[in-house]
Amino acid sequence: MNLYMVLGVAREASDDEIKRAYKRLARRFHPNVNPGDADAARVYREVVEAFETLSHPERRRAYDSGAFSEVHVTASVAFEGFDFTQRADGSQASTFGDLFGEVMHARVRRQEPERGADLHERLALSFEQAMRGATVGIRLTRLEPCGPCAGRGAVAGPEVRCYACDGAGHVRGTRGHMVFARACSACGGGGTLRVHVCQACGGEGVGVRADIVPVDIPPGVRDATELTVPGQGHAGRRGGGPGDLRLAIHVESHRFFRRDGDDVVIDVPLAVHEAALGTRVPIPSPDGPVVFRVPPGTQSGQRFRVRERGIRFRHGQRGDLVVDVRIVLPSVIDERSKELLREFGTLQTDNVRAHFGELTLENGPRP
Ligand SMILES: [Zn+2]
Ligand SMILES: [Zn+2]
């Protein structure tokens, strides 16, 4: 076991660096932060033990001089005041070698890549952005791959004795009363390692960063839906793939337009004479002003379609612009207008309430 590797620091690390590394790792693997996690508890004890030796000048000198390459010699010095005779499962550890074999096995297992978690964010879009699509910069605070180790959690360095087998190339295991040796999985039996735990990330391969990330919003996204952006979630640990970014979409309302499926609907007010006589009026459309041809005799509530002026989709098809006509009566205040309207009334031969049939007041309800 290499105590420097346990703390992820260089052999020439200062007392300060050792203390910092210890604090960081102790916080991560502390039993209070990882309740019920036996692996974390073991790693924690290992970190404490490495710190106890390396933070003590005499013990560190002795350790550096190689005076105790044997585990049981280290133990007599390093474990002063620590009770390591009890295993996590309560049974007696027969030797420190057994104990460490177990601890190190736990470390090796912890180093498997792990996919990053999905990141959930809200995104408000204007009506136009949702309709046409847009590239939006979104502020994200997320785990990103560690710079110094490029997310691998480990960096290349000088060749050192394997921490798992202490250079032997094999580790001892016990099954019942049988004691056997198996090839060390950390170094593949070679007994040496050239890979060190990255100091910047403590081997996790990730760090928290706030960033503005450009995200492509496809045209036609709907309000109250979720948009998944693959690979833009949290970075994976120890080289694992990233999670996805999941955006809860809110589309703001528009002062002219509203959405109906793939169509864009607009209310167009018309004056009485425009509706009756027909005309051409400029109206807003998603692509800018267009001319709307009002046919003579247009009724209030009538609906017209301007083809392919609605929501655009990635495959090129578009919805329509739907025009809902609303007839607005003029405010008749002056005598001249009233006179003209009365005269207009005498010319009107249409009975606009003909569908009621013949009504007489005698048939109605008594007041
Ligand atoms: Zn090994
Ligand atoms: Zn790193």
The predicted-structure confidence for 309-356, as pLDDT tens digits, reads as follows 887 765 667 889 999 999 999 888 899 999 998 998 898 878 888 888
Looking at residue 78, what is its pLDDT? Answer: 31
According to DSSP, the residues that pair with 138 across neighbouring strands are 213
- Res 102 pLDDT > 70: no
Contacting residues for 367 by C-beta, under 8 A, at least 6 apart = none
Rounded-to-10 torsion of CA 46, 25, 109, 84: 20
Task: Identify which ligand lies nearest to the alpha carbon of 105.
Answer: 1
Give the range of the structural domain holding residue 89, as residue numbers without chain letter.
Answer: 3-110
Looking at residue 299, what is its pLDDT? Answer: 95
Strand runs (DSSP E) across 329-363, as ranges?
Answer: none
Statement to judge: residues 14 and 97 lie in one domain = yes
Neighbouring residues of the ion ligand 2, judged by CB less than 5 Å: 146, 149, 198, 200-201
> What is the rounded average pLDDT of the residues 40-68?
80
Statement to judge: residues 123 and 105 lie in one domain = no
Statement to judge: residues 243 and 266 lie in one domain = no
Residue 277 falls within a domain, yes or no? yes
User: In this predicted model, which residue has the larger pLDDT, 104 or 235?
Assistant: 235
- Res 293 pLDDT > 90: yes
User: In this predicted model, which residue has the larger pLDDT, 228 or 100?
Assistant: 228
Residue 68 falls within a domain, yes or no? yes
- Res 140 pLDDT > 80: yes
Q: 143 CA distance to ligand 1 centroid (A)?
A: 31
Q: Could you give the C-alpha distances from 316 to 199, 220, 267, 320, in angstroms and in order? A: 51, 11, 26, 13
Q: Quick: pLDDT tens for 200-210.
A: 888 888 888 89
Q: How far apart are CA 159 and CA 190, in angstroms?
A: 11
Statement to judge: residues 326 and 236 lie in one domain = no
State residue 15 phi and psi, 5-degree precision: -55, -35
Cβ atoms of 147 and 206 within 8 Å: the answer is no
Q: What is the pLDDT of the chain when averaged over all its residues?
A: 80
Residue 334's CATH number: 2.60.260.20
Statement to judge: residues 127 and 224 lie in one domain = yes
Neighbouring residues of the ion ligand 1, judged by CB less than 5 Å: 162, 164-165, 184, 186-187
Residue 28 falls within a domain, yes or no? yes
Statement to judge: residues 245 and 345 lie in one domain = no
Contacting residues for 166 by C-beta, under 8 A, at least 6 apart = 1, 2, 69, 71
Q: 145 CA distance to ligand 2 centroid (A)?
A: 8
Q: 163 CA distance to ligand 1 centroid (A)?
A: 6
Q: 323 CA distance to ligand 1 centroid (A)?
A: 76
Cβ atoms of 22 and 92 within 8 Å: the answer is no
Task: Identify which ligand lies nearest to the alpha carbon of 8.
Answer: 2
Q: Quick: pLDDT tens for 243-264.
A: 999 999 999 999 999 999 889 9
Q: How far apart are CA 280 and CA 345, in angstroms?
A: 26
Q: How far apart are CA 255 and CA 253, in angstroms?
A: 7
Statement to judge: residues 35 and 82 lie in one domain = yes
> What is the rounded average pLDDT of the residues 139-161?
84
Tokens found for residue 56: 């003590």
Task: Identify which ligand lies nearest to the alpha carbon of 161.
Answer: 1
Statement to judge: residues 55 and 79 lie in one domain = yes
Residue 197 falls within a domain, yes or no? no
Statement to judge: residues 333 and 263 lie in one domain = yes
Residue 66's CATH number: 1.10.287.110
**Domain total for the chain?**
3
Which DSSP string corresponds to 167-207? TSSEEEEEETTEEEEEE-TTTTTSSEEEEEE-TTTTTS-EE
> What is the rounded average pLDDT of the residues 291-307?
94
Looking at residue 111, what is its pLDDT? Answer: 59
Q: 157 CA distance to ligand 1 centroid (A)?
A: 16
Under the banding of pLDDT at 50, 70 and 90, the label for residue 75 is: very low
